[in-house]
Amino acid sequence: MILRDKISAQLPEWRERVKTLLKEHGETVIDRVTISQVYGGMRDIKGLVSDISYVDPAEGIRLRGYSIPEALKLLPRPEGGDMPYVGGLYYLLLVGETPNPEQALAVEDEWKARSVVPQHVFDMLRALAPQAHPMQLLSQAVLALQSSSVFARRYEEGMKKDEYWLPMLEDSLNLTAKLPGIAAFIYSLKYRNGIVPHPDPERDWAANFAHMIGVKDKTYEDVARLYFILHSDHESGNVSAHVTHLVASSLSDIYYAFSAGLNGLAGPLHGLANQECLGWLLDVHKKFGGVPSREELYKFAWDTLDSGKVIPGYGHAVLRVPDPRFTAQMEYARKHFPQDELVRLADLVFDVVPQVLKEQGKAKNPAPNVDAISGALQYHYGVREFDFYTVLFGVGRALGVTANAVWARALGQPIERPKSLTTKMLEEAAKGQ
Ligand SMILES: CC(C)(COP(=O)(O)OP(=O)(O)OC[C@H]1O[C@@H](n2cnc3c(N)ncnc32)[C@H](O)[C@@H]1OP(=O)(O)O)[C@@H](O)C(=O)NCCC(=O)NCCS
């Protein structure tokens, strides 16, 4: 299999590189840690390694060194399609090289061969409470697949440590292959008739999601590709990525680990923000009966802040510029449906809200993040069930966290165990200054 062979070929050099770094420079100090960081969610503490992606505060995410516009340009795309194959992106994340079309299609073929979701997963989802949030369903579905973990079985059989990554790769391919079908089933179960068409062997991974979810407009295939690529990875400190890594560091398999990561993604400060953002846009739209004037929007934004709320879709923990994932989606919308009212409104918000946030002077980054637009695109295509948007995010996020998990196993990253202190100890440390 191409992914296994490509990673295998790189491993000796990578392992030597890490071994030498640790042996010769293991005691080198790279950062200092302050009390506010210790008490403040470990913000900015450099304590994780990922070679899959890096968020540059001034530039946004780089996937294997490529910016979003570069990756979208370089990755192979289907004939007539505007956006690249997600299989090509997965190849890039796992292998670290830009694939040619055959290599991207080889990943797509791997996914096709592994895409059948066991019946017990559907049965289990049907048995859950009808009011269960779609993210609960997704997390449970991933956990239900754990019984088929190749890693767990091979570990029981006593495999060698330097082989751990191989079943991790198998599990990751098996998991990611099934996610579009699982997500489409959740969508149909919650909001339609519970029936999902079979995947179409002629379509790629993302296009099949578009097909199974029942969106007829062919251009939604491109939006699905774009959405999954943009949400795939955002270095390793965000909650979903970090939780997945943390759980997997105990040698739990990817099903246990990613299910936990999804539970983190379900939180309002993480993956749920995109639905809140669309809700805010719709509130504005409803209040003014369409796209308001600049002045009206300016006042509405201030009213939101004055009522003690944040303006969703704006600000970021790391980024200090407009999120390139926002820009990519905004450009797509402006090109393909510039007259859409929500797109016009999102554009106006982009014009007005950074100024408002600057005047307020609190947010370190007054620019839009990915969530400021992604819901508006889904809404345009008739995917209007807000609750579902975090599931879309989760399907995309699986690509990044599984690629990281494969490499963490391959490079023998150990169990995570940071040290905690008591408040008294911090007070004493402060006095000692
Ligand atoms: C993303 C987010 C959680 C980052 O938080 P952060 O790293 O603490 O951001 P900052 O350091 O810039 O926050 C400093 C202050 O500005 C405020 N601020 C940041 N973004 C804001 C926004 N969009 N609207 C109003 N206030 C905001 C913070 O709430 C904080 O206020 P406080 O000092 O009273 O607690 C934050 O910007 C936010 O809540 N944004 C809106 C929700 C959102 O879009 N989430 C999706 C993220 S991808």
Task: Establish whether residue 367 lines the binding site of ligand 1, counting it when its CB lies within 6 angstroms of any ligand atom.
Answer: no
What pLDDT, on the 0 to 100 scale, is given for residue 2?
A: 95
**Average pLDDT of 219-240?**
97
pLDDT of residue 317 exceeding 90, the answer is no
Cα–ligand 1 centroid distance for 189 (angstroms)? 34
Long-range contacts, 140-147 (Cβ 8 Å, 24+): 140/259, 141/182, 141/186, 142/175, 142/182, 142/255, 142/258, 142/259, 142/262, 143/255, 143/256, 143/259, 144/118, 144/120, 145/118, 145/121, 145/174, 145/175, 145/178, 145/255, 146/253, 146/255, 146/256, 146/259
Tokens representing 222 are 């491109």
Burial level of 136, CB count in 10 A (0-12/13-18/19+)? middle
Residue 191 Ramachandran class (φ > 0 left, ψ -120 to 50 alpha, else beta): alpha
Question: In which band, very low, low, confident or very high, does the pLDDT at 349 lie, cut at 50, 70 and 90?
Answer: very high
Q: Which of 305, 316, 352 to mutate to test the pocket of ligand 1 (most atoms within 8 A of CB)?
A: 316
Whole-number Å distance, alpha carbon 240 to ligand 1 midpoint, is: 18
Tell me the residue length of the chain: 433
Q: CB burial class (10 A; 0-12, 13-18, 19+) of residue 114?
A: middle
Q: The tokens of 185 are what?
A: 């089933």
In 3D, which of 301, 283, 286, 426 has the Cα closest to residue 366?
Answer: 301
Helix ranges (H only) for 266-411 are 273-288, 294-306, 324-336, 341-360, 371-380, 389-410
Tell me the three-class secondary structure of 237-291, residue by residue.
Answer: CCHHHHHHHHHHCCCCCHHHHHHHHHHHHCCCCCCCHHHHHHHHHHHHHHHHCCC
**Residue 270 pLDDT greater than 90, yes or no:** no
- At 309, is the secondary structure helix, strand, or coil? coil
pLDDT of residue 268: 85
Check if 364 has its Cβ closer than 6 Å to any atom of ligand 1: yes
pLDDT of residue 216: 93
Listed in order, the ranges of the chain carrying CATH 1.10.230.10 are 273-380
> Binning pLDDT at 50, 70 and 90, where does residue 192 land?
very high
Q: What is the rounded average pLDDT of the residues 182-202? A: 96
pLDDT of 153 > 90? The answer is: yes
Share of the chain above pLDDT 90, in %: 95
Mean pLDDT of 316-345: 94
Residue 92: closest CA among 78, 79, 76: 76
For position 165, what pLDDT does the model report?
98
pLDDT, mean of residues 203-207: 98
Distance 152 CA to ligand 1 centre (A): 40
pLDDT in tens, 115-135: 999 999 999 999 999 999 999
Whole-angstrom CA distances from 82 to 79, 277, 347 are 9, 26, 22
For 25-57, how does the pLDDT look when each residue is reduced to its tens digit (9 = 90+)?
Answer: 999 999 999 999 999 999 999 999 999 999 998
Average pLDDT, the chain: 96
Could you give the percent of the chain with pLDDT greater than 70?
100
What number is the average pLDDT over the span 353-362? Answer: 97
Tokens (6 digits) for 4: 């296994």
Supply the angle between the helices 239-248 and 389-410 in degrees, to the nearest 10: 40
* Model confidence at 433: pLDDT above 80: no
Separation of CA 315 and ligand 1 centre (Å): 5
> Measured from the CB, is residue 269 less than 6 Å from ligand 1?
yes
Q: Relative to the CA of 277, which ligand 1 atom is closest?
A: 44
Q: Using the 8-state DSSP alphabet, how is residue 60 labeled? A: E
Other beta carbons within 10 Å of 152 = 19
If DSSP codes are grouped into helix, strand and coil, which group holds residue 55?
strand
Please tell me the distance from the alpha carbon of residue 117 to that of residue 144, in angstroms, as a whole number. 11
Q: How confident is the model at residue 301 (pLDDT cuts 50, 70, 90)?
A: very high
In this prediction, residues 254-270 reach a mean pLDDT of 95
Decide whether any atom of ligand 1 lies within 6 Å of the 314 Cβ: yes
CA dihedral 376→381→384→387, nearest 10 degrees, is: -80
* Range(s) within the chain of domains with CATH label 1.10.580.10: 109-269+392-410
What gap in Å lies between CA 79 and CA 56, rounded to an integer? Answer: 32
Residue nearest to atom 6 of ligand 1 (CA): 317
317 lines ligand 1 (CB under 6 A): yes
Q: Which residues of 307-329 are buried (b: 16+ CB within 10 A; e: fewer)?
A: eeebbbbbbbebbeebbbbbbbb
pLDDT (0 to 100) of residue 93: 98
Q: What is the atom index within ligand 1 of the atom nearest the CA of 313?
A: 44
What's the CA-to-centroid distance between 363 and ligand 1, angstroms?
6
pLDDT band at 281 (very low <50, low <70, confident <90, very high): very high
Local confidence band at 318 (pLDDT 50, 70, 90 cut-offs): confident
SS3 state at 202: coil
Rounded mean pLDDT, 94-110: 98
CA angle 138, 94, 206 (to 5 degrees): 45
pLDDT digits (tens, 9 = 90+) for 387-431: 999 999 999 999 999 999 999 999 999 999 999 999 999 999 999
Catalytic residues: 270, 316, 371
Is pLDDT of 273 > 90? no
**Lookup result for tokens 């704006």:** 314
Q: Mutation test of ligand 1: which of 325, 364, 365, 389 has the most ligand atoms closer than 8 Å to its C-beta?
A: 364
Architecture category of domain 109-269+392-410 in CATH: Orthogonal Bundle (1.10)
What ligand 1 atom has the least distance to the C-alpha of 314?
23
Q: Is the CB of 83 under 6 A from ligand 1?
A: no
pLDDT grade, residue 275 (50/70/90)? Answer: confident
What pLDDT, on a 0 to 100 scale, did the predictor assign at position 351? 96
Asked if 410 and 16 touch (Cβ cutoff 8 Å), the reply is no
Average pLDDT over residues 195-206: 95
CB of 311 within 6 A of ligand 1: the answer is yes
23: tokens are 């042996």
Measured between alpha carbons, how far is residue 316 from residues 313, 321, 331, 367, 374 in Å?
A: 9, 9, 20, 8, 16
CATH 1.10.230.10 fits 273-380, yes or no: yes
Helix (H) or strand (E) holding 166: helix 165-191
CA distance 39 to 420: 10
Mean pLDDT along residues 261-271: 92
Which is nearest to 262 in space by CA: 374, 346, 157, 186?
186
